[in-house]
Structure 1
Amino acid sequence: MNMLKQISITNLITGVLCLILIAPILIVVVMSFGKSSYMIFPPTAFSTRWYVEFFSSPEWMNALLSSLMIAVLSSLISTSLGFLGAYALVRGKFGNKKLIISFCLLPLIIPTIITAVALYFASVPLDLVGSRIWISICHASLALPIVLLILISSLQGIDVSIERAAEGLGASKTYTFTRIVIPMAAPGIISAAFFSFLTSFDELIISLFLSGLESETLPVRIWNSLVMNMEPIIAAISAFLIIITVLLLLLELAGRKLRA
């Protein structure tokens, strides 16, 4: 009986904590369907007015497109470099691996504002402020540690004897790497690409310093809108991003189950 009571209390506490974490998200989603010209909870009337305004606004659509382009390119860069780095760290025979991994994880430790300021002062003399490609590279530097951790874990689960067997049967290192290692590490690569995409898409501080008018990302436009005017359209955009993130997570989980 005591064990059952402990389990029920634990489940109750867990449920309350989950509700506290989810409540703000639900409030934003409900407010996004408000009809009034200012944010209010609960809404006095419901409408899809702000969603229509968001999708019909060229400024917001350009910001969304810019964020998607930067996030996709950043994901490709960080995943490619992270996979090669993770493979070298897992399969390579050299010392100080822990020191190298710790160095690669520095972007997670250093405050983003410091990184953003440093990148800004490095970008101005090179006239790179406003370049989407450069912003993607800078975002990739933040996503790289996450990618590295995911892929190191994924590659450690691949038995090295499979690679040795392939090479023993006459396969070249290139063939073994492209036809055996990469397919076996595909689930980890997909997860790493997914999380690096989200890291770039949600990044605000670096984008504030490096984006110009033409390369303004969605988080930067949301920030500027919040500074100037607390428009209800922000709630609609936030709800849209929440729904997209949840759908991507569900697709990721479904993909894992199918691969399992």
Structure 2
Amino acid sequence: MTRTLGRIALALVCFLIALWLVAPTLVIIPISFSETQSLAFPPTGFSWKWYANIFDNRAWSRSLVTSVEIGLIVAAVATVLGTMAALGLERLKNRLGGTIRLLLLTPVVMPGVVLAVGIYAVYLNLHLTGTWTGYVLAHTLLALPFVVIAVSANLSVFDARLEVAAASLGASRLTVLRTVTVPLIAPGILSGALFAFVTSFDEVIVSLFITSAQLKTLPVQIYASMTRDTDPTVAAIGTLTLVVTTVLIGAGLLFSLSRGRK
């Protein structure tokens, strides 16, 4: 009886902690349907106009499309580079490999403002501010560590004897990589790609330094809106982002579970 009460109490505490963490995010959902012209909770009335404003207002729609396009490019580039780096570091288990790993993970621990100032100073000389190339390079720099971490986590439990077995049967290094290594670490690669896309899509500090009037990402547009008029379009964007992120993470978990059952 005591053990059962303890489990119930533990479950209740975990639920309350989860609710406390999620509650600030859930608040934006009712605000996004408000009829008022400003962010207010509890909201008054019900309206879809702020969701329609995302696609009707050229500034919002253009910044949303820009963020998605940059995010997809960054996810592809960072996933390829990060996977190659993780594979190389797995085979370079010495002091040099540790140093390279530390350098690759530096953007995670470095303050965003410091990194943004450094990137901005370099971009001024190279004329990359406000360009697609500048955004992709900067966001890839920020996303690369997450891909390395995700793929390295899969490689740490990867059975290298499978590669040896395939090679002993006559498979070339490229064939082993394509038919053995990559399929087995696919969950880590997909997780890294998802983290890379989200990192690019959510990045605001570096984007503020390298943005231009012609090319703005969604976080920069949100920041500009919050400093200017704070209408509930921001809440509508946040709700859509929350839904899409939840669906993507849920799909990733289901994919991992389905692979684990096979």
TM normalised by structure 1 equals 0.95
Q: Deviations 1:56-101 (Å, cap 9, x if unpaired)?
A: 1221111011101111111112111111111011123644433332
User: Residue 179 of structure 1 aligns with which residue?
Assistant: 179
AA matched with 1:55? F
Match for 1:79: what amino acid? Answer: T
Deviation digits for residues 177-201 of structure 1 (CA, Å, limit 9, x no counterpart): 1222112221111111011110110
Of 139-148 and 114-123, the range deviating more from structure 2: 139-148
What is the alpha-carbon distance in structure 2 between the residues aligned to residue 241 and residue 216 of structure 1?
17
Residue 159 of structure 2 is aligned to residue 159 of structure 1? yes
CA deviation digits over 1:92-126, x for unaligned, max 9?
Answer: 36444333322221111110110000000000111
Structure 1 residue 28 corresponds to structure 2 residue 28 = yes
- The TM-score with structure 2 as length reference comes to 0.94
Matches of 2:254 and 2:207, distance apart in 1: 32
Q: Which residue identity lines up with residue 10 of structure 1 in the other structure?
A: L
Distance 1:69 1:192 in 2: 17
Q: Which residue number corresponds to residue 149 of structure 1?
A: 149
The answer to whether residue 88 in structure 2 is matched with residue 112 in structure 1 is no
**Counterpart of 2:134?**
134
Cα separation, 1, equivalents of 2:11 and 2:183:
40
**Corresponding letter in the other structure for 2:212:** G
Cα deviation for residue 150 of structure 1 reads 0.8
| 2:174 partner letter | T
The one-letter code sitting in structure 2 at the alignment partner of 1:238 is: G
The offset of 1:6, in angstroms, is 2.8
Determine if contact 1:146/1:192 at 8 Å carries over to the other structure.
yes
- Select between 110-119 and 24-33 the one with higher mean Cα deviation: 24-33
Gaps of 5+ in 1: none
Which residue does the alignment assign to 1:60? 60
Q: Residue by residue, what CA displacement relative to the aligned partner does 1:197-252 show, whole Å, maximum 9, x if unpaired? A: 10110000010001212220000000001011111111111111111111111111
Could you tell me how far apart the structure 1 residues matched to 2:181 and 2:193 are? Answer: 17
Letter in 1 for 2:100: I
Secondary structure, aligned partner of 1:19: helix
- Note the C-alpha offset of 1:142: 1.1
CA distance in 1: counterparts of 2:48 and 2:6, whole angstroms: 45
In structure 1, the partner of 2:44 is 44
**Off by >4 Å, runs of 4+ in structure 1:** none
1:158 deviation in Å? 2.1
Partner Cα separation in structure 2 for residue 185 and residue 16 of structure 1: 35
Indicate the residue corresponding to 1:121 in structure 2: 121
| 2:202 is the counterpart of 1:192 | no
- Give the distance between the partners of 1:199 and 1:93, measured in 2 at CA: 28
Say if 1:64 and 1:218, in contact at 8 Å, map to a contact too: yes
Q: Report the counterpart of residue 11 of structure 2 in structure 1.
A: 11
The code of the aligned residue for 1:162 comes to: L
**Deviation of the 1:15 alpha carbon:** 1.4
Q: Residue in 2 aligned with 1:228?
A: 228
